[in-house]
Chains A and B, each alone.
Chain A
Amino acid sequence: MGRYIVRRLLQFIPTVLGTLFLLHYLTTVGIQLTGNPIRALFGDKRPAPETLAALTSRLHLDDPCLKQKGNPCLGLFRERLVDIGQLDFGTNFRFRPVFDWRGFFDRAHASIITDALPYTIKITIIAFTIEALVGVFIGMRAGMKPGKSLDYSVKISTVMVISVPVFVLGILIQQFITRDFGNFLRGQEWIPEVISRGVFGSAYKQEFPFASLIIPGIVLGMLSLATTARLTRTSVHENMRADYVRTAKAKGLTHKRVIGVHTLRNSLIPVATNLGLSIGGYMTGAIITETIFNVPGVGNQTARAIFQGEPAVLIGITTMLVLVYLVANLLVDLLYAVLDPRIRYE
């Protein structure tokens, strides 16, 4: 186990560097193709050259290599790595930092991410809980009785959910459930506000910090819920026919133990890995759901950076998200080894 962890950690370093470089390169080419992004901030107005120059230099966008199309700007990459090493992910054009860890403890050091993160964490936890509990449960039941009605409905509904883009699902749910149905609820005197305005509110509300995140959380979890249910189904279904399950039966164990211990333990290995990997999906998902339901989380800030033409913020946030994603992947790998001894002793 120890050797495995060390090896994984050693492999992790080049992966991080490679991915950060890729991100750097692709965005740099983008800037080279587009031209100075600062200019765009001013729309049709022509800023004074001094203002433009000052801003450009503060945001590290004055490097001459940004004018040479295709140049990988290695110098810039090195600078960026150093910054990242110091947990500096840049600032917006008003010099508000993208990230400052002190912001978690001290309002004076507030930053874009530290302000937004709590919302994103909450919504992700809701989504993840729903995905894991409901998805695994449904998938398990469906996998144990292949060809039965639950199995078919899982098959059909997963295909449905997979083919409806999350944002379409989001806007439909927002319109028909939180607006239309919510308006109906809000018309009923006897329904408590936390339900009618909180849970079924069409946007995030400060007064209902948890209730008004439930539906956005469900929307966020929906996509991976379908995949999880389907994966669990396939995995249980396959493992039900595995030789060692037959052995467990031959050992005269009860049906409950054959399924609950011998089948399930093995079936959940790929599912657990997938649950971890769905974090990557949550990141894009959060951008969509938070935008639709106006949750002031990290995703919302990302979308805002796009709409307001703030590539520095966009790159900063994305870099951080990618780092989180890579760490999550690493943890999933380690979890995999915990669950499957064959990996551990490789």
Chain B
Amino acid sequence: MSDVSVDMSPSLAGVKMTAPLLEVEELKVEFRTRAGIAKAINGVSFEVNSGETLAILGESGCGKSVTAQAIMGILDTPPGYITGGQIRYRGVDLLKRTDEERRLVRANKIAMIFQDALSALNPVFTVGFQLAELFRKHRGMSRADGKKRAVELLDLVKIPAARQRVSDFPHQFSGGMRQRVMIAMSLALDPELLIADEPTTALDVTVQAQIMSLLAELQRERQMGMILITHDMGVVADVADRINIMYAGRIVEKAPVYDIYAKPSHPYTKALLESIPRVDLKGQQLNVIRGLPPNLTRIPAGCAFNPRCRYVRDACKVDPIPPLYEIKPGISSACHFWKEVRGDD
């Protein structure tokens, strides 16, 4: 499908192709619920460029999906509200654009893959219908042409017997195949940025690897930017270029993937790494992080991680919240005591 010569996707006024693909700056999201205001995202900033993969990593509930939904503009409002920050696509702040402009960015420029393909695909329509719908509604194709393209897409994501399977319903596919359909759907309109929200969490380990390598391959071929969201440190190592570690709605560490594994700069990252089962340490006690993630309606003062932190000092328990200290170009940590954590002197 890379042979599409004319770019038929609608263009967005003010777009500068030289600007970074996506910049998120000081994004803040809160959920106003009966139990109180949950501050789900508290000033998150990052940048993704074409052809690179940024992994966002953190425990479940730390705000990864909410970040993705905010970028896509599909946050449930109410209860969720974006209360600050910018989301710039090619220099254009999407939050300032009309609903209609934002709608056309979805799937055309920025597409998303959801965690659980079984519930993310509509159970009452065939996968062919759901794929063709994109071509019909965004490219004005006929049903027949849409279906042809749907078959091509299923081929692209290596679903065997695509021509027959195109008229099957989602529940007739296996978990892995369903996630391939999801991927096909996200790639349909040749987006520049792909957000994959835990694309392999619902799958068996063997299938996980296949899906990840398919994603990586497609991303490389098309030179897309990709945001890979996961809570599994093991998944990202081979695929990601850079990693942002997220905790309680903030980014606590940013680093290229190699540095994270070699020398974590935040106690939370360190704890995450220690909790991965490793073949070479078989038989040893696995270190799990003690305690639970904070209640987002009552985030502790100071560093949100302090109640669970091994390196905690009094300074961690009071505001100001530790800023992201730049350690070296490309590496930063939101820990006052990053030196100690890294073991630097």
Contact = CB atoms under 8 A, between A and B. Distances in A.
A and B touch in the complex (CB under 8 A): yes
B74 A249 contact: yes
A247 B124 CA distance: 14
A345 B124 contact: no
Interface string B110-138: 01101010011111110000000110011
A76 interface: no
B138 A262 contact: no
Nearest to B185: A251
Contacts of B123: 244, 266, 340-342
Which residue, of A241, A244, A246, A254, has the highest number of chain B Cβ atoms within 10 A? A244
B172 interface: yes
A321 to B, nearest CB: 33
Nearest to B172: A345
A251 to B, nearest CB: 5
A16 to B, nearest CB: 30
Interface string A260-277: 001001100100000000
A248 interface: yes
Interface residues of A, number: 24
A269 B74 CA distance: 25
B120 A341 contact: no
B338 interface: no
A254 B121 CA distance: 17
A345 B133 contact: no
B185 A266 contact: no
Nearest to A346: B171
B120 A246 contact: yes
Given A251-B133, A340-B124, A242 B119 contact: yes
B137 to A, nearest CB: 6
A227 to B, nearest CB: 23
A159 to B, nearest CB: 22
B72 interface: yes
Interface of B: 69, 72, 74, 76, 99, 103-108, 111-112, 114, 116, 119-125, 133-134, 137-138, 169, 171-172, 185, 189
- Interface pairs A-B: 10 shortest CB-CB: A252-B106, A252-B107, A243-B119, A244-B122, A341-B169, A249-B74, A243-B120, A247-B120, A250-B112, A251-B107
Given A247-B185, A248-B122, A251-B106, 12 more contacts: A242-B119, A243-B116, A244-B123, A249-B74, A265-B124, A266-B123, A339-B124, A340-B124, A342-B123, A342-B171, A345-B169, A345-B172
9 contacts: A243-B119, A247-B121, A247-B185, A249-B72, A250-B114, A252-B105, A340-B124, A341-B171, A342-B171
